């Protein structure tokens, strides 16, 4: 399968008073057509900044993409003018944000907001765009679309707003949808509805998805491939099955051991990862996970490991050979 | 962690917490009540953890606050260590409050940014006249910080100098200061990063073993609740729909809502996930101001019958303390 998106050595740094924050520091990955790639990590791991960098949405200053390529459809998005990027964004690449409360405009009707990308990108007249909007609302299971399109965001519940976001994202039949923690603000039963809908509709359109999340359960249910991020880099990547069956990076292994599983019958003690996530403005030399790592050796303190292949498609960035079992 | 102790440290009977809703500016008319908690009964044995789960608006946090009498109780009994405290006055509550404490969700909002850690942790001691001499006070603070895994040398620092996980430990130390028997933990780990959650859960478990604490553990994350609890109570729109031991609830869930809730929680294992049955509920939790007639869950229930639309199911006891409120099990 051809890769529809190739990210190569992406570096996004923020120049702040407290120093240079290397939020994304040399990230490379491919997204294949039709697949769901999950990017997992804790707050500050760089997963959201990776997404915003792809879309050209990094606030500058203080942020700056200092290196790398984002190849989409044969073009490097980082080389395009603002105008050219706007043609891709919302059209061929769509984004669904975490907060359905703040990512919808409170003074525009739902219809106006869903119709906007269609008008802008497809040059459809208002009524045609509105008709398409009603269709899209039906697709995301909002009934009575004609009337609901005249409502404002505050008249919708959290789950419905996130459906509206999905309708907007799908409106121009994108090839790639980036969802950043799309269900973190929602209740579990609603989360299941929204993620299922997102999966069905992306599959129906043959779109690829980048799913950014901290929830290892969501990853297990929906992802084909997984990138685990820590302190601005990918520390492990592979197919979902290989990552869960045979995690190789101490951080991934640690995460798996630290979360309670719903299906654990015996109350086994959780094994936490000691310490705190690092301060990105003051990263230690060597591997950033070293201060929290049980397996660290001298080399980890001086040299930062690069991502290396351990098996087909499975890569890790670690000097030592640790096994999850 | 179950001690097999049958003493009921807490018994809640038919607890109701209603919030009046008024309309109008000058002449406020009472137009209805939000029945946040509407007639729930459950109990906790000494030394065990009772988990309270449900989605937003189900009344789980209101229940916790009402038990501590931090919200007015509309009706019902709260029997704590043999006394019904539901109608206690403020003065009467003071002595009870020493024995029941709370750990809050937000590690940022629940600590006063202008107070040092020692002052925050020591405040309950001062309030309850347990501070003693300066030396005793200092010693107690050091001891408390140590049992939650913080360096007593940090006592002079302020909350902003700590990470989320450390702040949650400070909140735990504060709750423990007055040697309580019972602690309401309201979403104590949901604001924390995944790798930090386990640290806090382990501390709570260790303290329970060491000090014989009883927890009411309120959370929306079923995996966390199932991990820490001995028994689990599931709430929906102000009512208890099911309660059972942690094993029974997972292996033999009865109420359709419990089943859907369990099915909605993804398991971090792709092979297990692929093999699971996925149930998807329609719609969202309705407004508690205008809850559906009959069984509150009927508009979303896949097994709804006519009876469910009109008649509210009573909660029924089955074997092993497993109880369920659903007409399917009559």
State how far the Cα of A29 lies from the Cα of A242, in Å rounded to an integer.
17
Are A42 and B194 a contacting pair at CB < 8 A? Answer: yes
For residue A214, the chain B residue with the least C-alpha distance is: B194
3-state DSSP call for residue B213?
coil
Minimal C-alpha gap between A125 and chain B (Å)? 33
**Stretch A32-53: mean pLDDT:** 92
State how far the Cα of B150 lies from the Cα of B121, in Å rounded to an integer.
12
Under the banding of pLDDT at 50, 70 and 90, the label for residue A321 is confident
Chain B positions touching A215 (Cβ under 8 A) are 266
Chain B positions touching A158 (Cβ under 8 A) are 284
Contact status, residue B50 vs residue B215, Cβ threshold 8 Å: yes
pLDDT at position B1, please?
A: 47
Residue B4 has pLDDT above 60, yes or no: no
Are B196 and A272 a contacting pair at CB < 8 A? Answer: yes
Evaluate whether ipTM surpasses 0.90.
no
- Tell me the per-residue pLDDT of B62-95, one tens digit each, with 9 for 90 and over: 999 999 999 999 999 999 999 999 999 999 998 8
Q: Which of residues 96-125 of B touch A (CB under 8 A)?
A: none
Poorest-pLDDT segment among B17-31, B50-64, B165-179, B260-274? B17-31
State how far the Cα of B99 lies from the Cα of B198, in Å rounded to an integer.
26
pLDDT above 70 covers a percentage of chain A that reads: 99
Under the banding of pLDDT at 50, 70 and 90, the label for residue A216 is very high
- Tell me the per-residue pLDDT of B266-313, one tens digit each, with 9 for 90 and over: 999 999 888 888 888 887 888 888 889 999 999 999 999 999 999 999
Are A263 and B56 a contacting pair at CB < 8 A? Answer: no
Q: Please work out, in degrees rounded to the nearest 5, the angle formed at the alpha carbon of residue A122 by the alpha carbons of A117 and A126.
A: 70
- Tell me the per-residue pLDDT of A261-291, one tens digit each, with 9 for 90 and over: 888 888 788 888 888 888 888 888 899 999 9
Task: Measure CB to CB from residue B284 to each of A190, A221, A264 and give the nearest one.
Answer: A190
Minimal C-alpha gap between A40 and chain B (Å)? 11
Average pLDDT, chain B: 91
pLDDT at position A325, please?
A: 46
Are B261 and A160 a contacting pair at CB < 8 A? Answer: no
- Cβ atoms within 10 A of the Cβ of B213, count? 24
Does B193 lie at the interface with A, CB-CB under 8 angstroms?
yes
pLDDT at position B2, please?
A: 46
- Tell me the per-residue pLDDT of B10-28, one tens digit each, with 9 for 90 and over: 999 999 999 988 888 777 8
- Tell me the per-residue pLDDT of A71-113, one tens digit each, with 9 for 90 and over: 998 899 999 998 999 889 888 999 988 876 788 899 999 999 9
Q: Which of B131, B175, B177, B170 lies closest to B151, judged by CA?
A: B170
pLDDT at position B289, please?
A: 81
Residue B146 has pLDDT above 60, yes or no: yes
pLDDT at position A306, please?
A: 92
pLDDT at position A1, please?
A: 59
User: Which pTM was predicted?
Assistant: 0.88
Average pLDDT, chain A: 89
Omega of the bond prior to A42 within 30 degrees of 0, cis?
Answer: no
State how far the Cα of A142 lies from the Cα of A11, in Å rounded to an integer.
40
Measured between alpha carbons, how far is residue A279 from residues A23, A282, B71 in Å? Answer: 10, 5, 40
pLDDT above 90 covers a percentage of chain B that reads: 69
């Amino acid at each position: 399968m051809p890769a529809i998106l190739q990210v190569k050595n992406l570096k996004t740094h923020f120049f702040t008073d407290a120093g240079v924050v290397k939020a994304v520091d040399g990230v490379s990955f491919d997204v294949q057509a039709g697949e769901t790639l999950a990017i997992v990590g804790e707050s500050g791991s760089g997963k959201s900044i990776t997404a915003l960098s792809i879309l050209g949405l990094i606030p500058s200053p203080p942020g700056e993409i200092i290196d790398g390529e984002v190849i989409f459809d044969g073009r490097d998005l980082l080389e395009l003018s603002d105008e050219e990027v706007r043609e891709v964004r919302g059209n061929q690449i769509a984004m669904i944000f975490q907060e359905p409360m703040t990512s919808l405009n409170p003074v525009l009707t739902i219809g106006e907001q869903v119709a906007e990308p269609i008008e802008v990108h497809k040059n459809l007249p208002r009524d045609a765009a509105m008709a398409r909007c009603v269709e899209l609302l039906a697709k995301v299971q909002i009934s009575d679309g004609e009337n609901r399109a005249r409502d404002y965001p505050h008249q919708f519940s959290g789950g419905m707003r996130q459906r509206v976001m999905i309708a907007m994202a799908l409106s121009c039949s994108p090839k790639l949808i980036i969802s950043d923690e799309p269900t973190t603000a929602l209740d579990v039963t609603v989360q299941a509805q929204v993620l299922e809908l997102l999966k069905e509709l992306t599959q129906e359109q043959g779109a690829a998805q980048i799913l950014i999340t901290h929830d290892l359960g969501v990853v297990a249910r929906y992802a084909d491939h997984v990138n685990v991020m820590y302190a601005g880099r990918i520390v492990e990547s592979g197919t979902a099955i290989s990552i869960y069956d045979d995690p190789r990076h101490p951080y991934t292994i640690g995460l798996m051991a630290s979360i309670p599983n719903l299906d654990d019958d015996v109350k086994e003690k959780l094994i936490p990862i000691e310490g705190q996530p690092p301060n990105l403005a003051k990263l230690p030399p060597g591997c950033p996970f070293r201060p929290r790592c049980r397996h660290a050796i001298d080399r980890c303190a001086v040299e930062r490991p690069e991502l290396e292949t351990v098996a087909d498609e499975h890569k890790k960035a670690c000097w030592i050979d640790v096994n999850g079992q | 962690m179950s001690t097999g102790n049958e003493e009921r440290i807490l018994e809640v009977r038919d607890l109701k917490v209603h919030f009046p809703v008024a309309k109008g500016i000058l002449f406020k008319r009472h137009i209805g009540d939000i029945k946040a908690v509407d007639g729930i009964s459950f109990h906790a044995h000494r030394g065990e953890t009772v988990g309270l789960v449900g989605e937003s608006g189900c009344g789980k946090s209101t229940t916790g606050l009402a038990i501590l009498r931090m919200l007015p109780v509309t009706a019902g009994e709260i029997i704590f260590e043999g006394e019904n405290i539901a109608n206690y006055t403020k003065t009467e509550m003071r002595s009870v409050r020493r024995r029941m404490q709370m750990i809050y969700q937000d590690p940022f909002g629940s600590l006063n940014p202008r107070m040092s850690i020692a002052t925050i942790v020591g405040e309950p001691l001062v309030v309850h006249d347990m501070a003693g001499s300066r030396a005793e006070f200092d010693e107690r603070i050091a001891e408390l910080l140590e049992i939650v895994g913080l360096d007593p040398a940090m006592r002079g620092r302020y909350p902003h100098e700590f990470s989320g996980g450390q702040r949650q430990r400070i909140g735990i130390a504060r709750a423990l200061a007055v040697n309580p028997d019972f602690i309401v933990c309201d979403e104590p780990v949901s604001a924390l990063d995944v790798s930090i959650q386990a640290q806090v859960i382990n501390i709570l478990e260790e303290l329970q073993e060491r000090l014989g604490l009883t927890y009411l553990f309120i959370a929306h994350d079923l995996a966390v609740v199932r991990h820490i609890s001995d028994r689990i109570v599931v709430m929906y729109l102000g009512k208890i729909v099911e309660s059972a031991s942690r094993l029974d609830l997972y292996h033999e869930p009865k109420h359709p809502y419990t089943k859907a809730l369990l099915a909605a929680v993804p398991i971090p294992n792709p092979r297990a996930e692929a093999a699971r049955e996925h149930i998807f509920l329609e719609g969202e939790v309705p407004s508690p101001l205008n809850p559906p007639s009959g069984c509150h869950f009927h508009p979303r229930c896949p097994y709804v019958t006519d009876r469910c639309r009109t008649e509210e199911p009573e909660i029924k006891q089955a074997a092993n303390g497993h109880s369920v409120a659903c007409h399917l099990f009559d």
